[in-house]
Amino acid sequence: MNNIPEILSKQRAFFKSQKTKDVSYRLSLLKTLKQEIVSNEQAIYSALKKDFRKPEFETFISEYGLVISELNLAIKNLKKWTKPKRVKSSMLTFPSRDYIYKEPYGNILIIAPWNYPFLLAIEPLIMAIAAGNTAILKPSELTKHTSQLITDIIQKTCPETVAISIEGGVETATELLAQKWDYIFFTGSVSVGKIVAQAAAKYMTPVTLELGGKSPCIIDETVDLKLVARRISWGKFLNAGQTCIAADYIIIKSNIKEPFIEALKTEIIKRYGVNPKESPDFPRIINKKNVLRLADMLEDSQVIFGGHIDVETCYIAPTLVDNPNLDSKIMSDEIFGPILPILTYDTEQNLEHIIWNYDKPLALYVFSNNDAFIKQTIKKYSFGGGVINDLLIHFGNHRLPFGGVGASGLGAYHGKTGFDTFSHNKGISKRGNWTDPGVRYAPYKGKLALLKKMFKYFS
């Protein structure tokens, strides 16, 4: 059993030793971590396959490859990112040299989910270390093979005083959350996000909350339906739909609904065959509890394609549901599985009625060739981030901050944004001594006009 308070106290002492402030030390940690991950590439594929039959191809594109890119990016740019950034002086600081220093927060807690169990645990860890923090990571208890491998990799590459993976479920997470942290980075459900936010509030700890929600996908009548169906068959059923930014439901212009459904059925069969259970490319649901949760959602739904469920093997076929009510089970919560409800709209008011029925989603997708409609849609609705004419791909560009808004999350990461997330911006003004303008000193009589002139000059 890990003694959490003792490990954290050692990490606190190590952080105070200033060793993690040394950029070359951080670089050496990141390089060793990369080496260890590269040498475990096959082991990572095999762990994810054992956990939920995730195909090697999907693990590469959505976990391993992204982690390696993030490591390469941090290793290449760390010296630049950590340099104090000079900013212009202001009237009040002049004469001065003003800088923003990137300061590590200190001791970080990272809690990860199961759906991209390698990526969502290691990616925040990379940027926490790059920014000069120590970290305790709790990977998901539902992906035992991957979490065990993560623990091993971290153990081999980082001293316990810098980073450690502590495996466990709710009890462990609760004990971790009871400690005092300098930053908490949580990825998971909205309901647990609230627990994390409450625990953080006790010590005024800053948090990033990467949560979920019901992400809509709007399709208007100007599109090439075959292309749209092809892209949706990829983005919705990747990872068996267990993706925080998967399209949760479709809202399509009513006059093209039928041909779209036919096109989507054809594409799903092309991807996974007539019996997706046999396909080596279609993962399983993470556990029986989630299969039963999804099965329950289908109870009051009109299934028009798929719908096969095998609880024993955690299998749910790619499934299409026709026109559910907004108060049906499937439209009440985030689906997080291979089930896609298809709703329709005719007017802007129909769209508003559906989208504003829910909290601000993590993603929104719009398929259209009508620029005015696209612009209006992405400006009008509030959501974490999104894509025009495809699904998910915004996640794969480290130059785009990734995070939710409102109930779908707080804060963002990916690439440099991740480094910034784990760094406090410390503003420092170094006053010059070569002059000491007397205008600010009392008595003020007769000085206001000069002050106003200076104010104008500097603003």
| Interaction site with ligand NAD (CB under 6 A) | 111-115, 120, 138, 140-141, 169-170, 173-174, 177, 187-189, 192, 195, 210-212, 244, 334, 336, 362, 404, 409
The C-alpha atoms of residue 227 and residue 48 are separated, in whole angstroms, by 30
Name the minimum Å distance from CB 199 to ligand NAD. 8
Is 141 or 390 the residue whose CB approaches ligand NAD more closely? Answer: 141
Closest-by-Cβ residue to ligand NAD is: 212
CB of 172 to ligand NAD, least distance (A): 7
Determine whether 210 is an active site residue. Answer: yes
Residues near 448 by beta carbon (within 8 Å), at least 6 away in sequence: none
Of 210, 221, 348, 352, the catalytic one is 210
How far out from the chain centre does Cα 183 lie? 16
The amino acid occupying position 400 is: L
For residue 119, the minimal CB distance to ligand NAD (Å) is: 9
Structure tokens at 331: 């439209």
CB of 215 to ligand NAD, least distance (A): 9
Contact 360, 267 (CB under 8 A): no
Classify strands 423-431 and 96-104 as parallel, antiparallel or unpaired.
Answer: antiparallel
3: which residues sit within 8 A by CB, 6+ positions away? none
Residues 6 or more apart whose Cβ sits within 8 Å of residue 79: 23
CB of 290 to ligand NAD, least distance (A): 8
262-280: burial string, b at 16+ Cβ within 10 Å, e else: ebbbebbeebbeeebeeee
Q: Do residues 252 and 344 lie in contact, with contact meaning Cβ atoms separated by under 8 Å?
A: yes
Per the CB < 8 A criterion, the answer to whether 388 and 366 are in contact is yes
Known catalytic residues?
Answer: 210
